[in-house]
Amino acid sequence: EAQYAVSTQVVATDNFDLIDDISAPRADISKNIIKFGDVKVSNGVCYASTGVTNGGASPLIIRRAEASSEAVRCEVMAGTTLAPEESIEIVVALDVRSIERRDEPFAARIRIITNDPIRPMQTLRIGAIVTE
């Protein structure tokens, strides 16, 4: 039996050699930080949003959205495709009741994985202060 557990994480990317820089998709996120501010446990679930725009010239595919905490959900469908200049709103839900440590500020991350060759993985930072 091993004394230490080792975990790894891999992000597979598209073959970007097939796309030139000018026509590549580009994921532009309007807000990289979402601050819920002071939230009460009695609030239940709080919502905020950010936008994603395809600033490139090829279709942008949102592969996946991963949250670092079970208290955070990201309402975007894997496989969502945006045409050039098309935008969508990504809704972030914070379930205040699921936050275990209420004696310190809450911080989490959501990773959005796309077929953007320059930034295939972008991070949204989520913050809140839980009060009773």
* pTM score: 0.79
The per-residue pLDDT for 6 is: 81
Distance CA 22, CA 58 (A): 9
Q: Give the pairing type, strands 80-82 and 60-67.
A: antiparallel
pLDDT at 119: 92
Of 126, 131, 100, which Cα lies nearest the Cα of 48?
126
Q: What is the pLDDT of residue 12?
A: 62
- Number of Cβ atoms within 10 Å of the Cβ of 76: 18
pLDDT of the residue at 35: 95
In this structure, are residues 96 and 130 in contact, taking their beta carbons and an 8 Å threshold?
A: yes
Dist. CA 78–CA 55, nearest whole Å: 19
Asked if residue 59 lies in contact with residue 25, where contact means CB atoms within 8 angstroms, the answer is yes
Q: How many residues does the chain have?
A: 132
Whether 39 and 95 have beta carbons less than 8 Å apart is answered as no
pLDDT of residue 11: 61
Which residue stretches of the chain have pLDDT < 50?
Answer: none
**Six token digits for residue 95:** 């379930």
| pLDDT (0 to 100) of residue 16 | 55
Sheet of 60-67, strands arranged across: 33-40, 121-131, 106-114, 60-67, 80-82
* Per-residue pLDDT at 48: 95
